[in-house]
């Protein structure tokens, strides 16, 4: 089945039955370092994860796979079939960042990965860890989870450059048949948002809210302007809540003075308003669901509220398949310098543990990260804001491991 990689002989596969992962005590988990700083942060994170797993009596059997430049060197392609097959077979994977060329070049590997494996929800928890510098006054009130759609919207990759025969043809059809006015020197991109993709995302978000005792689900959209894509996203979202979860959800409109016990409030907000809402009234938001592009912007802004991209973890989730990754990219200028902060990669691993049902280990990792930062042991990004003892990527991870062992 594999051309250039060999699955480990030890360890067992994670299975998926009746909508749930069945996780052995020694799961095989594929991982790739990716590009740029991936080779700094991924090995550092793996050491921390191994320690946390050991402390709860589990062992991860890592299976190295390849994507990005390293894959290109080995396979002659940036995203080999081997890599996709390993993630499909083993279901849960840890990834480092991947570089994407701007303008021309190959298509985003991250987008291709999400679309090929149908990892339709980009899930990013935004919570504050004590000691981390933040631009907001009450960061401890921030604790929400973003569900961003990841397979469609303007990320669908349906676009043509100015003057191409496809762009000119589309402009002609739109003008002749639909009376639209478009300048002939326009590039053309298409923004599809479907009922199917919206509903499965909202369904996942509401289920998450129920399972994790969250109080509200907010549908964020720009439906006042893009009525049949973003506006429809909102309408389909409410439909899911009303038709499939009426016993657990209540809409903001139906709500009286007080939320009835055990009910989740479903509401919606216009995207631009939402940017100030998460800064000024973050405690009013709990689970936030958005289409792809606005989700991208909002999650990066949200990450900045709790320490920036060096801290923020993320994941790409489908049905019975999940890939965990930091929010940040490959930051090529820092690659191989043992300089950047591995926290986002470490916390992505902690999120993976939570997903596997290893909640205790996940909480221990978060605690150990907080202890390390509170002791003043920090990488350059936090050092320039709060000072302390400046350390490299590896040394930071070692300090986290020491704290983990002391818990
Ligand atoms: P980036 O790689 O996230 O880096 C932007 C800046 O964020 C860095 O210059 C650095 O800030 C800070 N930063 C990032 N990671 C950090 C860490 N671990 N510790 C401390 N600081 C960190 O974003 P980019 O420069 O826009 O993108 C570079 C490449 O990554 C692009 O090819 C992009 O497409 C790709 N990308 C990939 C992913 C992914 O794989 N999921 C996500 C985003 C971007 P300072 O310069 O201020 O120190």
Cβ of 372 closer than 6 Å to ligand 1, yes or no, is no
Q: What is the dihedral of CA 135, 350, 316, 93, to 10 degrees?
A: 150
- Among 117, 70, 59, smallest CA distance to 96 is for 70
Which entry of 50, 118, 235, 296 is annotated as an active-site residue?
296
Question: 213 an active-site residue?
Answer: no
Alpha-carbon radius of gyration of the chain: 22
pLDDT digits (tens, 9 = 90+) for 344-399: 999 999 999 999 999 999 999 999 999 999 999 999 999 998 999 999 999 999 99
pLDDT digits (tens, 9 = 90+) for 143-202: 999 999 999 999 888 999 999 999 999 999 999 999 999 999 999 999 999 999 999 999
**Pocket test residue of 94, 310, 331, 394 for ligand 1, highest count of atoms within 8 A of CB:** 331
Please name the residues in contact with 144: beta carbons below 8 A apart, sequence gap of 6 or more.
125, 126, 278, 282, 285, 286, 287, 288, 302
Please name the residues in contact with 223: beta carbons below 8 A apart, sequence gap of 6 or more.
230, 231, 232, 233, 234, 270
- The answer to whether residues 379 and 340 touch, using CB atoms and an 8 Å cutoff, is yes
Cβ of 99 closer than 6 Å to ligand 1, yes or no, is yes
Cβ of 331 closer than 6 Å to ligand 1, yes or no, is yes
pLDDT digits (tens, 9 = 90+) for 239-258: 999 999 999 999 999 988 88
Percent of the chain past pLDDT 70, that is, above it, reads 99
Question: 162 an active-site residue?
Answer: no
Residue 105 has a pLDDT of 62
**Helices and strands: H and E segment counts in the chain:** 13, 17
- Among 32, 26, 28, 27, smallest CA distance to 4 is for 32
Cβ of 97 closer than 6 Å to ligand 1, yes or no, is yes
Sheet of strand 92-95, all strands in order from the earlier edge strand to the far edge:
61-64, 28-32, 92-95, 322-326, 313-317, 121-127, 143-149, 287-290, 216-221, 264-270, 249-251
Number of residues that this document lists for the chain: 407
Cβ of 35 closer than 6 Å to ligand 1, yes or no, is no
User: Which residue's CA is minimally distant from atom 44 of ligand 1?
Assistant: 329
> What is the SS3 assignment for 212-268?
CCCCEEEEEECCCCCHHHHHHHHHHHHHHHHHHCCCCEEECCCCCCCCCCCCEEEEE
Q: Which atom of ligand 1 is nearest to the CA of 109?
A: 40
pLDDT for residue 99 is more than 80: yes
pLDDT for residue 236 is more than 70: yes
Residue 104 has a pLDDT of 61
Question: 272 an active-site residue?
Answer: yes
pLDDT digits (tens, 9 = 90+) for 55-84: 999 999 999 999 999 999 999 999 999 999
Q: Which atom of ligand 1 is nearest to the CA of 380?
A: 20
Residue 31 has a pLDDT of 98
What gap in Å lies between CA 307 and CA 295, rounded to an integer?
Answer: 18
pTM of the model: 0.92
- The answer to whether residues 378 and 393 touch, using CB atoms and an 8 Å cutoff, is no
Q: How far is the CA of 339 from the centre of ligand 1 (A)?
A: 13
Question: 238 an active-site residue?
Answer: no
């Amino acid at each position: 089945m594999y051309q250039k990689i060999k699955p480990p002989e030890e360890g067992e596969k994670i299975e998926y039955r009746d909508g749930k992962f069945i996780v052995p005590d020694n799961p095989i988990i594929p991982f790739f370092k990716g590009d740029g700083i991936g080779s700094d942060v991924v090995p550092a994170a793996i050491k921390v994860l191994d320690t946390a797993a050991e402390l709860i009596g589990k062992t991860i059997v890592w299976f190295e796979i390849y994507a990005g430049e390293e894959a290109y060197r080995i396979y002659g392609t940036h995203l080999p079939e081997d890599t996709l097959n390993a993630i499909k077979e083993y279901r849960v994977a840890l990834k480092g960042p991947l570089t994407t060329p701007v303008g021309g070049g190959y298509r985003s590997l991250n987008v291709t990965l999400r679309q090929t494996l149908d990892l339709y929800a980009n899930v990013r928890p935004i919570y504050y860890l004590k000691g981390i510098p933040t631009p907001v006054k009450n960061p401890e009130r921030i604790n929400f989870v973003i569900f961003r759609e990841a397979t469609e919207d303007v990320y669908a990759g349906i676009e043509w450059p100015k003057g191409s025969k496809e762009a000119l043809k589309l402009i002609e059809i739109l003008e002749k048949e639909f009376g639209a006015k478009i300048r002939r020197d326009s590039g053309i991109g298409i923004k599809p948002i479907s009922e199917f993709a919206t509903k499965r995302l909202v369904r996942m978000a509401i289920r998450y809210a129920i399972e994790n005792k969250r109080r509200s689900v907010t549908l964020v959209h720009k439906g006042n302007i893009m009525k049949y894509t973003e506006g429809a996203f909102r309408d389909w979202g409410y439909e899911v809540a009303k038709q499939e979860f009426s016993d657990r959800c209540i809409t903001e409109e139906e709500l009286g003075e007080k939320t009835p016990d055990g009910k989740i409030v479903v509401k919606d907000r216009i995207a631009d308003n939402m940017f100030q809402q998460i800064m000024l009234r973050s405690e009013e938001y709990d689970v936030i669901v958005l289409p792809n592009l606005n989700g991208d912007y909002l999650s990066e802004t949200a990450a900045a509220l709790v320490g920036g991209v060096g801290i923020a973890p993320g994941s790409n989730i489908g049905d019975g398949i999940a890939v965990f990754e930091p929010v940040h990219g490959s930051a090529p200028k820092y690659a191989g310098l043992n300089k950047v902060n591995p926290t986002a990669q470490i916390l992505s691993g902690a999120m993976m543990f939570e997903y596997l049902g290893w909640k205790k280990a996940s909480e221990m990792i978060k605690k150990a990260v907080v202890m390390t930062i509170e002791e003043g042991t920090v990488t350059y990004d936090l050092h320039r804001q709060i000072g302390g003892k400046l350390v490299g990527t590896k040394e930071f991870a070692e300090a986290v491991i020491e704290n983990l062992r002391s818990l």
